[in-house]
Amino acid sequence: MKMRPAWITLLLLVGACGAEPVTVTLSEIDDRIARFEVANESADDVESISMEVTFRDGDGGVVRVDTVTYEYVSDPSTCDIIPFVRSGEQTFFAWRVAPGAVSATVSVLETTFFEGVVPPGTPGRWCAEE
């Protein structure tokens, strides 16, 4: 039996671990605004996410690199936590495209999760307790 190199086995194991629980993809660029779709396939709500957005010109050269961070908010009327994106759901964000850029890519740098799903009525950290 022929043995395959250890690095091939490692690549197969890493590939078998599954996809990332949170994915971010470029949906469109229109009128210098890029729209990115964010999908959360994990069992937990997303507390915050940091991404690197790279804008490129027509030749593939880097025009600008931005770091973008989003986190949960508190509803001002109820003080309830609203996760950035809930488990099993999708959202989007828009970002102004750098002058001269015709395409963009995004990579997730860090994602933090709440432990599980945030129940309705959970107060946020900016709300004063009475």
pLDDT digits (tens, 9 = 90+) for 3-61: 444 333 333 333 334 578 999 999 999 999 999 999 999 999 999 999 999 999 999 99
> Can you list the domains of the chain with their CATH numbers?
19-113 (2.60.40.3230)
pLDDT, position 1: 43
pLDDT, position 19: 72
- The Cα–Cα gap between 89 and 21 comes to 11
Beta-strand (E) ranges in the chain? Answer: 22-30, 33-40, 46-56, 62-71, 73-74, 81-82, 90-96, 103-113
The pLDDT tens digits of the residues spanning 105-114 come to 999 999 999 9
The pLDDT tens digits of the residues spanning 63-100 come to 999 999 999 988 878 888 889 999 999 999 999 999 99
Selected residue with higher pLDDT from 82 and 2: 82
pLDDT, position 15: 38
pLDDT, position 75: 82
Burial class (CB in 10 A: 0-12, 13-18, 19+), 53: buried
Write down the residue that tokens 């600008």 correspond to.
64
- The Cα–Cα gap between 1 and 71 comes to 52
Selected residue with higher pLDDT from 119 and 62: 62
pLDDT, position 92: 95
- Give the closest residue to 26 by CA, choosing from 53, 50, 47: 53
